[in-house]
Chains A and B, each alone.
Chain A
Amino acid sequence: MIFRRGLPGLLGLLCIFSLAGCGSGPRADLVLCNGAEPQTLDPALVSGQLEGRICAALYEGLTRRDARGRSVPGAAESWTVSPDGRTYTFTLRENLRWSNGDPITAEDFCYSWLRALDPATGSPYAEIFYFIRGAEDYQAGRAPAESVEIAAPDARTLVVRLKNPVPFFPSLTSFTTYLPVHRATVAKHGDRWTRPEHWVGSGPYRLKGWRVNDRVALEKNPRYHGADRVRLSRIDALAVTRASTAFNLYSSGQADVLLDKGLIPSLIMPKLRGRPDFHPAPLFATYFYRFNVTRPPFDNPKVRRAFSLAIDKEAIVERITRGGEPIALSLTPRGVPGYRPPAGPVASPVTAKALLREAGYPNGQGFPRVSLLYNKSELNEQVAVEIQAQWKRELGVEVDLRNQEWATYLRSLDSLDFEIARSSWVGDYDDPLTFLDCFATGRGNNRTGWSDPKYDSLLDQAQADPAAASRLRKLEQAEEILVNQAMPILPLYHFVGCLMFDPKKWDGLMPNLLDEHPFSEIGARPPRLSK
């Protein structure tokens, strides 16, 4: 009898012990759902946004982003630029310290940037350093590391010589790949240096714990130069993939913030609009289709134009995406100060039909069977089905749908094994170049086979132009070719980002174009006193 009573208790104790070993302690000041499990927390290796968000808390670049996504001084207190716009001299703050107490020097930045460029590091984002003179040659193995024109004449000065005038270079240094890493730690622990027990960083937060598929635990870094303005001492970033699960955690109060639109179930999105804790904002990202211009029928610009003009983009954002997305007439979304994206063609089924006739396919007769490639997801499928129907209706053309699983789809894109393919692009920095550079001849992200010397030369001229305004005009002309003349792509809509948090409880979270939400800016609002 005693045994029977004791057994459940014993089992219970066993459970408690096993669970206690899972690192759950008192609740953090802020619990946020960050998306999937971070693939890495080594800034040189990061390629995703969710990892970038955590890295922005763990390391500080020369500049950093504030709650509105604006670039503000970070590790550098100031910088000067030479008259030709090609040489930047950054001055670091005094007494900067790594989280282990070592001083942060300009040499650390040189080391970190060269490390990210080193082919042996295998950084997926190394090309973001190509603005720096000598960087591309070093990365390609054509020149030694010494040929990269960055220098640290003293502990607090960093001099960077650029290939072209890059007006946004200071803000670019807040980008994840540009974040500094601690040389001795990397040297000592190799690939394993980002484990919590080895990790050393320079940001407002320290890495306290990191459990696979569970959470990344952050705690305030007392050695951070701005520690007095960091308001929360402990933050947990949960790894949750499924939107309904993230939303359940949020609704039940187990999580305070949902940081990503992907974490909000799309079915209930229309119901959430108007709720005070729902914060949508346009994003610097575009959903578009690519045409493979290397083979018929899409080697004919008239066919591409006809296919573009036949699409009613409004129908897609109103019936399918339903998140308030603006339709895309250009590749670059609006929002870069001084840049007016050219308006691509507006839908005109009549003109589309006429163009197709001119191309030799009256009413779609004789048009070869082509397929539309997309990676398997509900949204991609719905958009593809809608567009398939529109092409059938307006042009009389049959398009097959071809859905592939992610890795297979990427391979098809890279090897141009498609006729039309779904794509999206998220801007890395707030300049049109982050979109337009993809379609320069021979770029890895071109993935259409399209090449136009005039486009390439406009991009080159723009990049060499030291005057910000005329630089943007040239980029506008280049984009005009891309979205209104040659049309190797068909922009459909611009993305909208959504945050969910209770504005009565939290501040320092502001929807912005680049979707930057630095954790160090977030704070709890003092509870209102009740009378």
Chain B
Amino acid sequence: MLTFLIRRLLSSIPVVVAVLALCFLLVRIAPGSPFASERALDPRTKAMLEEKYGLSGSLPEQLLRYGFNVLRGDLGDSLKFRGRTVAEIIGQSLPRSLLLGSISFTLALGLGIPLGAWAAAHHGKKADSFLNSLALLTLSTPTFVLAPVSVLVFAFGLKLLPPAGWGTLSQLILPAICLAIPFIGVCARLTRSGLLETLGSDFIRTARAKGVSETNLVYLHALRPAILPLVAYAGPLAANILTGSLVIEEVFAIPGIGQFFVNGVINRDVFLVSGVVLVYCLLLLLFNLIADWLTALLDPRIRVAS
């Protein structure tokens, strides 16, 4: 196990380096300057600012300088939000996205798995096709439609919840649900198809022949191997959902990290973009590692093989 862990961590290093370098270079190559605004900037001032933030010289030089700073634990300063460090911005925004994301993640798995299992147990019946269509509907409804409509219904129609903002529990409910809904559909469909495949396998036929009840068959025997594809999906999902979403954060005025992925690029705020991409990359590697570990835990065949 320990060797597995060490090997995985070591193999992650080149991935992180490549992602960070690529991200930095792409933002720097993009036309336009991070310091430009509608009011023309004096070329001397621009040159001075580039010098100050380490963006002068050739691209490889800039990249090396940045890489060296990151190694020392310095992610640099935001170019747009002057006087703020990238670490400070991430430090303030990430915990909020983590809180919201973990609720949504729990919702996605907590509702998706039972719904999928239930659909599989009622395969071919009305309940199955109903759930299937529902899942399809939720995962194909874009959040920029879902979020405003849910605000309209729950905040202004039923007057149950506040329309936006951050700071109270009631303000968390709508965004958490809207963030989770598309993934509930995906989780349900993955569980259902996994279960249907497992239910057709030999060991289930044997169990059935031995007289195991249909409920026990589905929930006790088949579910464990059936959710393996879901586990593989849940790794990237966790990283995705925990780093927030631009649309959800804008619609619900949530001060999270998600908006920096898009707005950082628009502003050519290279250090901020690279910083949030680094966070995303690390989370992705971490959750993929956890997913692999869980897979090994759930599937004895993989354990034997490794």
Contact A410 B36 (CB under 8 A): yes
Interface residues of A (CB under 8 A from B): 12, 15-16, 18-19, 21-24, 37, 39-40, 42, 45, 47, 119-120, 122-127, 139-141, 191-195, 211-214, 238-242, 244-245, 248-249, 251-252, 254, 405-411, 414, 423-424, 443-445, 447
Distance (Å) between the CB of B42 and the closest chain A CB?
6
Contact B155 A252 (CB under 8 A): yes
**In the complex, what residue of chain A is closest to B81 when comparing beta carbons?**
A39
Give A71 to B92 CA distance when docked, in angstroms.
38
Which B residues touch A254, using CB under 8 A?
162-165
Give A140 to B44 CA distance when docked, in angstroms.
8
B247-290 CB contact bits vs A (8 Å, 1 = yes)? 00111110110010000001110000000000000000000000
The verdict on B172 contacting chain A, using a C-beta distance below 8 Å, is yes
Distance (Å) between the CB of A207 and the closest chain B CB?
13
Give A18 to B82 CA distance when docked, in angstroms.
27
Q: Which residues of B from 10 to 34 have beta carbons under 8 Å from A? A: 30-34
Interface residues of B (CB under 8 A from A): 30-42, 44-45, 48-49, 52, 77, 80-84, 88-89, 92-93, 95-96, 99, 103, 148, 151, 155-156, 162-169, 172, 249-253, 255-256, 259, 266-268
Which A residues touch B93, using CB under 8 A?
212-213
Distance (Å) between the CB of A45 and the closest chain B CB?
5
Of A12, A19, A21, A238, which one neighbours B253 at CB under 8 angstroms? A238
Most buried by B among A21, A254, A447: A254
Of A193, A212, A241, which one neighbours B89 at CB under 8 angstroms? A212
Which A residues touch B259, using CB under 8 A?
213
Give A122 to B45 CA distance when docked, in angstroms.
5
Contact A37 B81 (CB under 8 A): yes
Give A57 to B285 CA distance when docked, in angstroms.
46
Distance (Å) between the CB of B44 and the closest chain A CB?
6
Show 29 A/B contacts (Cβ-Cβ < 8 Å), sorted by A. A19-B168, A19-B172, A21-B95, A39-B80, A42-B83, A47-B37, A119-B44, A122-B52, A123-B45, A127-B42, A141-B44, A211-B255, A212-B93, A213-B255, A238-B253, A240-B164, A245-B163, A248-B155, A249-B163, A252-B156, A254-B165, A405-B266, A407-B267, A408-B31, A411-B36, A423-B38, A443-B40, A444-B39, A445-B39
Contact A126 B45 (CB under 8 A): yes
Of B32, B81, B82, B249, which one neighbours A407 at CB under 8 angstroms? B32
Contact A249 B165 (CB under 8 A): yes
Distance (Å) between the CB of A140 and the closest chain B CB?
7
Give A23 to B38 CA distance when docked, in angstroms.
34
Which B residues touch A15, using CB under 8 A?
99, 103, 169, 172
Contact B83 A194 (CB under 8 A): yes
Which A residues touch B35, using CB under 8 A?
124
Give A362 to B42 CA distance when docked, in angstroms.
42
Which A residues touch B162, using CB under 8 A?
252, 254
**In the complex, what residue of chain B is closest to A195 when comparing beta carbons?**
B83
Give A15 to B102 CA distance when docked, in angstroms.
11
User: A214-B166, A254-B164 are known contacts. Are A191 and B155 too (CB-CB below 8 A)?
Assistant: no
Of A120, A214, A410, which one neighbours B37 at CB under 8 angstroms? A410
Of B38, B48, B256, which one neighbours A410 at CB under 8 angstroms? B38
